[in-house]
């Protein structure tokens, strides 16, 4: 007597193998088409590709299991053992959890991210908020302290002074370090253990004639400027990004920004800068621009944010990679 139930059971490993192969093929398609970077950060790409290879191996193992069940079904069976059966509806629903999303993934076009996704996630205009400084951090209070710097064209490096609430002058160095002049930039860019790297970057940017926000270090540059905004007001800044506007902005305002990606598309967040220009209405959402402007300050929803008063704007092609990534070595 042959076990027909074993032949039917061979269908299950075949279905599993098809699902595994389908996922692996989809990853291969994203890689060859260049769309893989829309979903994961480059540093994760190798692991995803290795995972796809592992799925192929598992699929082969499932096909072998199906073959084994089919061969065993051809051998005589005493019929004394009753095979366990799961409800068909439950099996269909289980496989549907994998098959339906896989079909949807192949059917859905891979489109560039832009203003629609930004509207859903909400644009962040204060890059420094991403730091989430611990309670009691001294950096914010130190930055807010009024610092009076005397410019010395002779290069003697006069020590900056701070003013207390009564208007008296206080030395910004600790007892003037026994007569040794302090670095004026240390007073301009106070920091603690959480913001020291941004203070160091801020010092470098402060000494430049103009600031260019590159793809590498995009978030770090904007964070340093935002964190020490008072030090950069009046400087020129150049950056690239896509246009975003909503009903909360005036006719001459829009946001120019990029999506930052830590690991995968699920954690992608839009960060940008408020732009003010009389030509702002000439550019629709998702238009990519390279622009230069003067750093200023404005209020948005009760928060102080960076404002760039545009002086030059140029429409450009969208970036090949829509994301910018953290630079841990800045």
**What are 236-295's pLDDT values in tens digits?**
999 999 999 988 888 899 999 999 998 888 888 999 999 999 888 889 999 999 999 999
Cβ burial of 115 (10 Å; 0-12, 13-18, 19+) is buried
Residue 161 has pLDDT above 90, yes or no: no
Per-residue pLDDT tens for 12-61? 899 999 999 999 999 999 999 888 888 888 888 999 999 999 999 999 99
On whether the CB atoms of residues 248 and 281 are closer than 8 A, the answer is no
Q: What kind and span of H or E run contains 128? A: none
- Supply φ then ψ for residue 126, to 5 degrees: -110, 95
On whether the CB atoms of residues 168 and 193 are closer than 8 A, the answer is no
What is the DSSP-derived secondary structure letter of residue 305? Answer: E
Beta-sheet pairing, 236-244 with 288-300: antiparallel
Rounded Cα distance between 65 and 295, Å, is 66
Residue that is written with structure tokens 């930052």 in the block = 260
Give the global pTM.
0.70
Q: What is the pLDDT of residue 133?
A: 55
Q: Where in the chain is the domain with CATH 2.40.50.140?
A: 117-137+195-324
Rounded Cα distance between 24 and 26, Å, is 5
Give the percent of the chain with pLDDT over 90. Answer: 45
Q: What is the pLDDT of residue 69?
A: 84
Cβ burial of 44 (10 Å; 0-12, 13-18, 19+) is middle
Average pLDDT score over the chain: 81
Residue 100 has pLDDT above 70, yes or no: yes
On whether the CB atoms of residues 285 and 257 are closer than 8 A, the answer is no
Its sign, for the CA torsion 239, 244, 249, 253, is: positive
What is the DSSP-derived secondary structure letter of residue 151? Answer: -
- Of residues 99 and 150, the one with the higher pLDDT is 99
The CATH number of the structural domain formed by 117-137+195-324 is 2.40.50.140
């Amino acid at each position: 007597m042959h076990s027909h139930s074993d032949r039917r059971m061979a269908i299950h490993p075949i279905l599993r193998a098809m699902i595994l192969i389908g996922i692996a093929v989809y990853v291969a398609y994203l890689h060859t088409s260049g769309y893989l970077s829309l979903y994961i950060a480059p540093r994760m790409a190798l692991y995803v590709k290795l995972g796809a290879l592992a799925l192929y191996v598992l699929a082969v193992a499932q096909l072998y299991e199906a073959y084994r069940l089919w061969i065993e079904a051809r051998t005589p069976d005493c019929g004394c053992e009753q095979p366990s059966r799961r409800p068909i509806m439950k099996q269909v629903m289980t496989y549907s959890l994998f098959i339906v999303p896989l079909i949807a993934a192949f059917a859905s076009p891979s489109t560039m991210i832009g203003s629609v996704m930004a509207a859903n996630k909400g644009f962040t205009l204060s890059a420094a908020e991403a730091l989430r400084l611990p309670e009691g951090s001294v950096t914010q209070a130190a930055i807010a302290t009024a610092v009076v710097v005397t410019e010395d064209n002779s290069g003697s490096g006069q020590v900056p002074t701070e003013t207390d609430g009564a208007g008296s002058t206080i030395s910004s160095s600790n007892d003037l370090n026994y007569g040794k002049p302090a670095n004026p930039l240390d007073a301009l860019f106070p920091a603690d253990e959480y913001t020291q790297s941004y203070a160091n970057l801020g010092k470098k940017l402060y000494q430049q004639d103009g600031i260019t926000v590159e793809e590498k270090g995009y978030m770090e540059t904007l964070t340093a400027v935002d964190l020490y905004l008072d030090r950069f007001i009046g400087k020129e800044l150049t950056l690239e990004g896509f246009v975003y506007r909503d009903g909360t902005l005036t006719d001459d305002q829009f946001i120019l920004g990029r999506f930052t990606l830590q690991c995968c598309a699920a954690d992608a967040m839009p960060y940008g800068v408020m732009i003010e220009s009389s030509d702002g209405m000439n550019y629709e959402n998702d238009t990519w621009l390279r622009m230069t402007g003067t750093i200023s300050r404005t209020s948005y929803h009760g928060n102080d944010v960076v404002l760039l008063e545009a002086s030059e704007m140029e429409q450009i092609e969208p970036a090949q990679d829509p994301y910018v990534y953290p630079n841990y070595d800045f």
